[in-house]
Amino acid sequence: MASFESSVNDAALRPDLERFVGLIHRPIKAIRQHKLVLRFPYTYRLFSSLGIKNDYSMQYADAPGFRASTAFSFRFYDLGDEQQTPLTIHPVCLSEAHIRNQRFSRKMRQLYLAYHERLTNLKAPFLVSLTNESFNSRTKNASFLATLTKILNHE
């Protein structure tokens, strides 16, 4: 995940990526912009210029659904340069926040299963954005983690 600073300052992304590559000793092939702040087309031009091949930032922050108006991955086409880039956009339809906002286990499960069923019928990818906090087992998160575990195990 890119830093929030990089969403408002293009010059911050390169050092962020270099620092992370130094930690993991592997090239970075995928990214998700912090807080889903995308400045079109600049953010995607920057990702592409830095050699990033896959982006998982195309989602709504406040509601489930497809910000890209499609569930299927697609290459970023730069209208300004009139060319297709090597950057592939992977639309995400649900996030941890969307699921948590349902408040009740039954509602969380219904939301997840409705998207899962619809996208399975369309043979479309079903991408859900989770964070480390999703899997935190401390007491405050216990009921959400139990619900999430059941959902992911299709129970």
Reported as a single tens digit per residue, the pLDDT across 92-122 is 999 999 999 998 999 999 999 999 999 999 9
Contact 89, 76 (CB under 8 A): yes
Indicate the pTM of the whole model.
0.90
The boundaries of the domain holding residue 116 are 94-155
Nearest Cα neighbor of 51 from 15, 90, 92, 85 is: 85
- Shared domain for 87 and 106, answered yes or no, is no
Intra-chain end-to-end CA distance of the chain, in Å: 30
Q: State the pLDDT confidence band at 29, using cuts at 50, 70 and 90.
A: very high
Element (H, E) at 75: strand 74-78
- Shared domain for 67 and 108, answered yes or no, is no
Burial of 132 (0-12, 13-18, 19+ CB in 10 A): exposed
Reported as a single tens digit per residue, the pLDDT across 46-79 is 999 999 999 999 999 999 999 999 999 999 999 9
Cis status of the peptide bond prior to 41, with omega within 30 of 0 = yes
Query: What are the angstrom distances between the C-alpha of 109 and each of 67, 105, 116, 148?
Result: 22, 6, 10, 8
Query: By percentage, how much of the chain surpasses pLDDT 70?
Result: 99
- Shared domain for 3 and 78, answered yes or no, is yes
Last residue of some domain: 92, 114, 136? Answer: 92
